[in-house]
Amino acid sequence: MIELDRAGRSFKVKREVVHAVRDLSLTVAAGEFVGCLGPNGAGKSTTIKMLCGILTPTSGTVRVAGLDPSRRRTALARRLGVVFGQRTTLWWDLPLVDSFELIRHLYKVDRATFRSRLGELTETLDLGAFLRTPVRQLSLGQRMRGDLAAALLHAPDVLVLDEPTIGLDVVSKAGIRDFLRRVNAERGTTVLLTTHDLGDIERLCRRVVLIGHGSLAFDGTLEELMATAPGQSSIEEVVTRLYTAGAQ
Amino acid sequence: MVRTYFLLAWTWTRAAAAYPGSFVLMVALGFVAAALDVAVVLIIFANTTALAGFSREEVLLLYGAAGLSFSLCDTFVSNLDRVSQHIKSGTFDTFLIRPVGAWIQLTTDRFNATRVGRVLQAAIVLGYAIAALGIGWERGWMIPVMVATGVVIFAALWTLAAALQFVLTDAPEVTNAFTYGSNQLTQYPLAVYARDLVKGVTYVLPLAFVNWQPGLYVLGRDDPFGTPEAMRFLGPAAALVLALPAALAWRQGIRHYRSTGS
């Protein structure tokens, strides 16, 4: 469903070339739930943005749902749901429900399907109380639930989330994790998320990918990740070792 | 595409109409501000009977036609100049994850219907000039062609200006010089300008085709600069010649978008 083949993206910063991502190869099959870890500036967001077609890779190839994201961006958008934890994709000044209505038109979801999906999402994400509130007045937890609903209204095959639990309290986090697990299990949606919260990884991801310095540092199950550092009992310690090892 | 445009535009209009008082006031203000512009033309003609050989009504025809094209673009396309803000803050990302072109989404971003005040003003001036000059269909058919040509030329200029923002990031003023500057230039018969400037806006940046060349046909006049008669009909071709590189530049701009950190 997601294929990166030696994908790279570099930026020119003050005449110097910075490789945000280099030679990254990764394949995610349909229905997988993959968590992506990596220290700040490792290239996680750049990778996500290449998957959505926001950034054009400077080397290698990227395929999502069989399409080249940067060339077939709008066609891919119909099959892809995107959530940025740091930034809403909703219309800031419009009530949440107006944003949803716009999305219905943009993605050409028919009215009956839309109504039943929105009803379902409203229930599972508990949106009822603030559907008519302008997005700018929502709390972070409410906004994130709104963003999640917005990303799923068109029933995408792939859901990509960049730090979806950032800044949320434990209860909100639990709610979002529970929801994501259900979307993956019940609908078979392929999910790729980046996070700094190891709880997300432990509770959700069967497969863990670690990006360091723009390339793949680890790819395997949670158990395999733990096995890279025998004797360490907590995932925090294992990941800390991997992050600091990568820095040397 | 057209449906999507009006759907997005309508959503913003509805949001703005939540404050009806301010909405009406803004439309009226736009109308008055544009009317002051035409007052300048009238003041000139209070002191002279002809401007570069053109009568008051003839100048108003050229002014109204260019004004109508420009104000239509100002209403429906000019939101493109927000692109620099969106690039700087990284919010341009969200335009790229939707199954609709970024151009359509940007032109409707915070769509401001209050600009119709200016459209109305330009339409009235043009209507008055047509009536006063007694222009019939035999030459008047060119007027809608002229306005449409002008819309495409101005829209292409705005698109080029916006595409430039992907490279310059923070220079909306540089590009405003092209868009708003072009409007200023086309308000008067090109005969008032120097020959080299007119050559430039004919063969390089085809502003002469917004109203000047087709306007000469409508008025049944020869070009004081002596261009052949056939030039009067080249407007649509010139507009397409400009629109094509504008569309390509926009595409390239998006491919070079760098987003922001995180």
Q: Is residue A215 part of a domain?
A: yes
pLDDT in tens, chain B (262 residues): 888 888 888 888 877 777 778 888 888 888 888 888 889 899 999 999 999 899 999 999 999 999 999 999 999 998 898 898 898 888 899 999 999 999 999 998 888 777 888 899 999 999 999 999 999 999 999 999 999 999 999 999 999 999 999 888 667 777 788 888 898 899 999 999 999 999 999 989 999 999 999 999 999 999 999 999 999 999 999 999 999 999 999 999 999 898 887 5
Within a domain: A181:
no
Expressed as residue numbers, the domain containing A241 is 1-79+158-169+192-248
Domain count, chain A: 1
Q: How far apart are CA A19 and CA A24, in angstroms?
A: 11
Q: Supply the DSSP symbol for B19.
A: S
Q: Does some domain include residue A85?
A: no
CB within 8 Å: A54 and B259: yes
Query: CB burial class (10 A; 0-12, 13-18, 19+) of residue B188?
Result: buried
- Spatial distance between the Cα atoms of A107 and A121, rounded to a whole number of angstroms: 17
Cβ separation A54–B93 shorter than 8 A: yes
Cβ distance B93 to A87 less than 8 Å, yes or no, reads yes
Cβ atoms A10, A18 nearer than 8 A: yes
The tokens for B209 are 């085709």
Residue with tokens 């639930």: A145
Question: CB atoms < 10 A from the CB of A75, how many?
Answer: 15
- Give domain status of residue A182, yes or no: no
Question: B257 and A78 in contact by Cβ < 8 A?
Answer: no
- From the list A89, A93, A105, which residue is nearest B15 (CB)? A93
Domain spans in chain B, listed from the N-terminal domain onward:
2-255
Amino acid identity, position B97: I
In sequence order, the β-bridge partners of residue A208 are A35, A220
Task: Tell me which chain B residues have a C-beta less than 8 angstroms from the C-beta of A86.
Answer: 262
CATH number of the CATH domain containing A44: 3.40.50.300
CA angle A122, A124, A129 (to 5 degrees): 40
Chain A CB contacts of B4 under 8 Å are 105-106
Counting Cα atoms < 13 Å in the Cβ hemisphere of B189 gives 22
Beta bridge partners of A37: A210
pLDDT band for position A226 (cuts 50, 70, 90): confident
